Structure 1
Amino acid sequence: MASPTDASDQSDRLRAVLDAEIAAALDDLPPALDARRGVEAFVPEERPLPPADDDTLDIVDRHLPGLDANPPVPARTYRLRGRTDQAGRGVLVLHGGGFVSGGVGLADPTLRDLATELDAVVVAPTYRLAPAHPFPAAFDDCRAALGWLADQPDVDRVVVFGVSSGGALAAGLALHARDHGGPDIDAVVMGFPVTDDRLVTPSSHEVTDRRIWNRGMAELSWQAYLGDAHGTDDVSPYAAPMRAVDPAGLPPTTITVDQHDPLRDEGIAWAQRLMHAGVPTELHAFPGTFHGSMGFAPDAAVSRRELRALVDAIARA
């Protein structure tokens, strides 16, 4: 067990490398992300409240049809009131949480902004979570939501937007759509994404501080999601996109990575693989940040830049 002095030294080292505004958020972080606690280390989302009234948006909690014998998929949808009949952009938003936690509630303000700013139909599914529901449960739920969105009469182009583990789901959907003839996806936008269960990059070994997303938590999340398949040759590329033999033919993709993130290098590696395969790819790296720090310090200038890069990528589709 680390001594108080060791913990203090670690805190000072982390603060020294973070953007000053990001470092100020360290004291407000959730309980320690200590993988030794098992799945209890993940911070559960509070039960989402019904959507608040909104004068400009129609916000509906609904259950989308599940695929095959799967149960219906809870989802929240957002549309501008009085939206024109002309078909436009649809955005499928896939939350993070290490495949084990998360949901629509924490992202609700961002989802409202997307629907309003982009005049988009926004769909945010609450997919089933591991370890109770390992792969492909979450993936199948996201496929069901994608199919529902693509079938909407006021949608003529689709963007899939995922952060963290939602990034893995987004890329997996793009691979599956390519391999199975649709639905068509016009762009993929990935924030600080999960892409590789093997955790073999330099950055995957660099970050161990338990106040921020770290190697132990990354290992734990993959174990929960993949079970005994984790780290073997039996992992589907629809679960871990870096397992794909060839990503050629995927939609234009935008990726952001955070500097002090065990997932930094795998996000960069996925962007490189896409570029080598001829996929139009845009990559942004943000200094002084940690995994998902824009959610903990949304008013920091670097957080605003990262969110703007993601929203602008959606807007271009």
Structure 2
Amino acid sequence: MPGTHSMLDQELAAAFAALPKVANGTLLDLSDIPALRAQLGAATAHLPATPPDPRMTISTLRIPRDDRTELEVVLYRPADAEHVLPALLWFHAGAQVLGDSARADDAYHTALALSLGCVVAAVAYRLAPETPAPGAAEDGYLAYTHLVEQAAGHRIDPHRIGLAGASGGGAPAAATALMVRDRRAMPPCSLSLLYPMLDDRLETASSAEAASEVVFTHADMRYAWAAVLGDRAGADDVDPYSAPGRATDLAGLPDTFVALAQFDLLRDEGIDFARRLIAAGVPVDLHLYARAFHAWDRFAPASALTRSFEQAWHAFVRRGTSGKSPL
């Protein structure tokens, strides 16, 4: 990533400089997924436990799958809200291979629920390579339809449920939206894709930019998609539930927010997805953040650029869950 650091937003550059790096100078090495999981697990094991936030009520749903296993969905509900609330079904980041515990991100989910004034439903979707695609998307569809069908019991408005995914979570979030449309379930009120991982082909210009190899490299993305798709990665017959960037028909998807970073290998596939949504008649709120890198909001949460992004995104979600058109 020659010259990238000098081009980053100053606050983001300072945050990046303070973070531990792998051998090639980026933040993640996905060449050995079990080793990376173990490393991340060991690092978080030494962190102090987050004290319970009295403003939040946290409960866990265990929804049966057809194979008799259970899908875990963690609900974060503002404690003082006794009335029916909108909800945001959240798909976490992690290249679809990392992040097996929703509770590990309690602080983020709590802050999101409080800011949005809604229930955040964090999906512990199955990870690759143990569960190849479209397993994560099927989990998303199961979680979404459960919330719609059991909305009264959860004090959720079934007409005001949005979908949102960050990075690797963008794939099952977008695929869930496609499944909901194709299976004629009640449509979600919005879709949010934050620097999403959508297309296994990795053929865009940004996917090969050395300057965009900040958090991970092009090779890392290939490792991740190989875990998700196995031998199907890059093949002609990959279905859009497994890699939503492959979808040729995007008509009928909900109003969509897309947030992208200038220095991100995934930038152009996000732009292309947004462009095709627009061409299909879907209202799109597209934001490209100059001098930002992938997932900047999580690595530099106190930065001005993160505050600007959160203001725009949270306003979009609030408008969608208000029952009015987000645009």
Please give the TM-score of this superposition, normalised by the length of structure 1. 0.89
Partner residue, 1:88: 85
More displaced stretch, 176-185 vs 260-269: 176-185
CA contact (8 A) 1:160 1:170 kept: yes
CA contact (8 A) 2:166 2:194 kept: yes
Change (3 A) 1:18 1:110: same
Deviation of 1:310 (Å): 1.9
In 2, the alpha carbon distance for the partners of 1:88 and 1:29 equals 38
CA contact (8 A) 2:86 2:118 kept: yes
More displaced stretch, 262-271 vs 67-76: 67-76
- For 1:122-271, list aligned pairs within 5 A: 122-151=120-149, 152-153=151-152, 154-156=155-157, 157-207=160-210, 211-271=214-274
CA contact (8 A) 1:78 1:112 kept: yes
Change (3 A) 1:26 1:205: same
Q: Of 91, 94, 117, which aligns to 1:97?
A: 94
Partner residue, 1:277: 280
Which runs of no fewer than 5 residues in structure 1 stay unpaired? 1-9
Q: Of 65, 71, 76, which aligns to 1:73?
A: 71
Percentage identity across paired residues of the two chains: 35
In 1, the alpha carbon distance for the partners of 2:93 and 2:72 equals 16
Q: Of 114, 117, 123, which aligns to 1:116?
A: 114
Partner residue, 1:40: 35
Work out the number of aligned pairs and report it.
Answer: 305
CA contact (8 A) 1:66 1:141 kept: no
Give every structure 1 segment of 4 or more consecutive aligned residues whose post-TM-superposition deviation is greater than 4 Å.
35-39, 47-51, 208-211
Deviation of 1:39 (Å): 5.3
In 2, the alpha carbon distance for the partners of 1:36 and 1:188 equals 31
Residue 248 of structure 2 aligns to which amino acid in structure 1?
V
CA contact (8 A) 2:195 2:258 kept: yes
Partner residue, 1:19: 9
In 2, the alpha carbon distance for the partners of 1:66 and 1:138 equals 15
CA contact (8 A) 2:115 2:314 kept: no
Partner residue, 2:325: none
Could you say what secondary structure the match of 2:162 adopts?
strand
Residue 53 of structure 2 aligns to which amino acid in structure 1?
D
Deviation of 1:95 (Å): 0.2
In 1, the alpha carbon distance for the partners of 2:250 and 2:276 equals 7
The C-alpha deviation readout for 1:101-135, integer Å capped at 9, x for no partner, is 02424542231123223331211021221111211
Residue 147 of structure 1 aligns to which amino acid in structure 2?
T
More displaced stretch, 265-274 vs 32-41: 32-41
Could you say what secondary structure the match of 1:171 adopts?
helix
Could you say what secondary structure the match of 2:281 adopts?
coil
Deviation of 1:145 (Å): 1.6
Partner residue, 2:323: none
Partner residue, 1:3: none
Change (3 A) 1:232 1:76: same
In 2, the alpha carbon distance for the partners of 1:108 and 1:70 equals 27
CA contact (8 A) 2:194 2:259 kept: yes
Deviation of 1:243 (Å): 1.1
In 2, the alpha carbon distance for the partners of 1:210 and 1:203 equals 10
Deviation of 1:277 (Å): 0.4
In 2, the alpha carbon distance for the partners of 1:114 and 1:183 equals 24
Which runs of no fewer than 5 residues in structure 2 stay unpaired? 23-27, 321-327
More displaced stretch, 289-298 vs 144-153: 144-153
Deviation of 1:28 (Å): 3.0
Residue 245 of structure 1 aligns to which amino acid in structure 2?
T
In 2, the alpha carbon distance for the partners of 1:50 and 1:185 equals 34
Deviation of 1:37 (Å): 4.2
CA contact (8 A) 2:213 2:265 kept: no
